[in-house]
Structure 1
Amino acid sequence: MGIVAGLDSSSAFTHIVVCDTDTGAVLRQGYAAHPVEAKASEVDPQAWLLSLGEAASGGLLEGVQAIGVSAQQHGLVPLDHQGNLVRPALLGNDRRAQAAAADLVDRLGGRQPWAEAVGAVPQAAQPVAKLRWLVRSEPENAERVAAIL
């Protein structure tokens, strides 16, 4: 195939590894930390793009024919009708939604009905619980939400 890249955007950094598919050799790498915020459980998603730009600088992706991407899970990025960010993204490590998750479980009649209906039981890390938290804790922001990433 030629030259490929693997890109990982974790909650703390962006790391890119460029490899030769014929030999498996690592040709080059890029790394950039995400800015440290006062609240490590939420972040402006723009920081992810800035980190990506820094990690990929200097022609790191030149000649790359395919990119595989992995990223953090269970974040909630709420957007308004114009596609603008409503509030900073809530990351997977945010545990403020623990009570909201428990409430969702109770509202559907327990863990078993959730497992049967959707194949999972809400936990604080999951976006459904974060959305419930947003409705309760920041109702004015929740009213503005038109889409979620």
Structure 2
Amino acid sequence: MVEADCIYVFAAGNSGTVADDLANRLVRIGKKAVFHADSHVQAINASVMTKNDLAFAISVSGNTEDILLNLQLVKESGASIVALTNYMKSGITKLTDDVLICSSREFSSLYGSNSSKITQLYALDVLFHEIVDLDRERIQLLRDQTNNALIDRLK
């Protein structure tokens, strides 16, 4: 992730809010990161990736068809693929170079469940802090710079 020219994040449904959070956090530490909730825009992004980019896919089931189709396009570009999923035996793990497994018990209800989303956010928070620790001084300067860009808007 650290060496990628650009990190393209792929997700759908509830994982989309997690993907958006990841992309925003990466941008704030100076990484070029892109996430679009629309799977067609994700397909376009996948089609223009290069071997110097990284695809980061987030899918609880690991079998979301649009994500799998887009990762096939990424494979053709030669870019590396990392996935965050709940299931090691899923379609997404067959397409990726590295897999992060994070799992939670889903409680089925009429109103849905946030346990998988919270687990994904926590796993990405740990990963993010590891990235920050690799270059803390530079990232602190970038954090100050991005905070200054927003400070007047928060009054």
Bin the TM-score by the shorter chain: under 0.3
Give the TM-score of the pair, scaled to structure 1: 0.24
TM-score scaled to structure 2, two decimals?
Answer: 0.23
Larger % of helix: which?
2
Structure showing the higher strand proportion among its residues:
1
